[in-house]
């Protein structure tokens, strides 16, 4: 059966390669691209260091997440339909296959639509506001609402309420699981978004991390999640071809929010929440440095780091963009290997 999943990866890869070039041209024609502007942080203050290292990205189309999301959903449905037509049994670890598919696709699409709205605000409606994209509090409230819906479905439909901690056993969180998973989903949605600041960084790190969870899903024989990851992985690989330095297209919030939230949900569905922050270790580093900086500026009225997140800190220290990306890819591979070790521990 592994050949079916590899075929899904290949089909998604070819489909994305076929449409990405004309899609990039379309984004240029519609001027859905990054403009040269003075960005502001969460406190509505200028970010000269960020602007300095991102000035060369002026004119690069934003919205790569749109095409990858569309093709992933199409390929996933085609292969699920193929299973049904061939009367192949769709194995799952949960009471309802439909509920599992519903949760994955709702996460993927709903966070994508939120990110698309944010991208549209940045590209076309920036003059109507003083903040870059959606204001933090507005975006956080929308993310919270979506995350709570998804978490409730995980708890009520899939009956997930336990967390396995290697060597310490299994803990039943009860209704607290809803709050726990809500935090995880929101954290990773924003972590991937923050990491998507250098060409190929977020997409490359995510690709390695998703491959790690693909291994886990195949081990526990979860067909819906395995097929979705296969379809998604093909799209990520094709997009990465155009996203590596110098990027011809940028993921944008459409992809970053959707992919981050979906990565978290897949980790939760596979029952590996403890391995999740390890598999996505680079994302954790990125959002942690940003959070420390944010809290320091809010409560201490000074910066903890010269600049955050971590990839921008390295750039400010003199590291070239490709060097930062390649080394963080390598770090991600190590995190995934360690995460797989944790995932398979009793």
102-120 pLDDT tens trace: 999 999 999 999 999 988 8
Q: How many CB atoms lie within 10 A of CB 233?
A: 22
Q: Are 12 and 235 in contact (CB under 8 A)?
A: yes
As a whole number of Å, the end-to-end CA separation of the chain is 27
pLDDT of residue 129: 47
- Residues of the chain with confidence (pLDDT) below 70: 34-51, 53-54, 56, 124-134
Mean pLDDT rounded to a whole number for the chain: 90
Query: Tokens 């769709």 label which residue?
Result: 90
Cα-flanking dihedrals φ and ψ of residue 80, to 5°?
Answer: -65, -40
Q: Are 266 and 104 in contact (CB under 8 A)?
A: yes
Tell me the two tokens of residue 234: 């093909």
DSSP 247: P
pLDDT of residue 166: 82
Whole-number Å distance between alpha carbons of 15 and 22: 12
Whole-number Å distance between alpha carbons of 31 and 124: 9
| SS3 state at 250 | strand
Residue-wise pLDDT tens digits, 10-66: 999 999 999 999 999 999 888 887 665 555 555 455 566 666 766 767 788 988 999
Residue-wise pLDDT tens digits, 199-225: 999 999 999 999 999 999 999 889 999
Q: Which residues pair with 62 in a beta bridge?
A: 250
pLDDT of residue 84: 86
User: Which residues, 6+ apart, have CB-to-CB distance to 62 below 8 Å?
Assistant: 27, 32, 33, 34, 119, 122, 123, 249, 250, 251, 252
pLDDT of residue 320: 94
Query: Tokens 């009860």 label which residue?
Result: 174
Find, among 10, 43, 38, 62, the residue nearest to 197 by Cα.
62
pLDDT of residue 250: 92
Distances in whole angstroms, Cα of residue 38 to Cα of each of 57, 145, 283, 288: 13, 31, 25, 25
pLDDT of residue 133: 56
pLDDT of residue 49: 67
Tell me the two tokens of residue 31: 């001027």
Tell me the two tokens of residue 54: 């991102």
| SS3 state at 152 | helix
Cα-flanking dihedrals φ and ψ of residue 308, to 5°?
Answer: -140, 155
């Amino acid at each position: 059966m592994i050949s079916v999943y590899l075929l899904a990866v290949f089909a998604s890869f070819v489909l994305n390669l076929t449409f990405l070039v004309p899609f990039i041209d379309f984004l240029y024609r519609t001027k859905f691209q990054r403009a040269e502007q003075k960005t502001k942080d969460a406190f509505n203050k200028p970010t000269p260091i960020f602007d300095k290292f991102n000035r060369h990205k002026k004119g690069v189309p934003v919205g790569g997440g749109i095409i990858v999301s569309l093709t992933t959903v199409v390929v996933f449905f085609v292969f699920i339909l193929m299973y049904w037509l061939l009367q192949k049994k769709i194995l799952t670890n949960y009471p309802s296959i439909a509920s599992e598919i519903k949760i994955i696709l709702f996460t993927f699409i709903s966070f994508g639509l939120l990110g698309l709205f944010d991208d549209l605000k940045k590209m076309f409606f920036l003059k109507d506001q003083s903040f870059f994209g959606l204001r933090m509090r507005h975006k956080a409230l929308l993310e919270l609402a979506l995350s709570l819906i998804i978490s409730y479905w995980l708890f009520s439909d899939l009956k997930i309420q336990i967390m396995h901690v290697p060597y310490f056993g299994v803990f039943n969180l009860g209704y607290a699981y809803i709050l726990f998973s809500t935090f995880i989903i929101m954290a990773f949605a924003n972590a991937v978004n923050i990491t998507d600041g250098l060409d190929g960084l977020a997409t490359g790190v995510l690709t390695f991390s998703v491959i790690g969870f693909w291994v886990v899903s195949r081990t526990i024989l979860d067909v819906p999640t395995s097929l979705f990851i296969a379809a998604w992985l093909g799209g990520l690989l094709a997009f990465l071809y155009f996203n590596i330095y110098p990027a011809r297209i940028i993921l944008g919030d459409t992809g970053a929010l959707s992919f981050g939230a979906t990565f978290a949900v897949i980790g939760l569905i596979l029952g590996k929440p403890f391995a999740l922050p390890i598999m996505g270790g680079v994302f954790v580093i990125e959002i942690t440095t940003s959070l420390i900086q944010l809290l320091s500026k809010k409560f201490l009225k000074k910066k903890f780091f010269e600049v955050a997140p971590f990839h921008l800190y390295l750039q400010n220290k003199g590291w070239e963009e490709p060097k930062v990306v390649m080394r963080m890819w390598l770090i991600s591979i190590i995190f995934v290997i360690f995460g797989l070790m944790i995932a398979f521990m009793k």
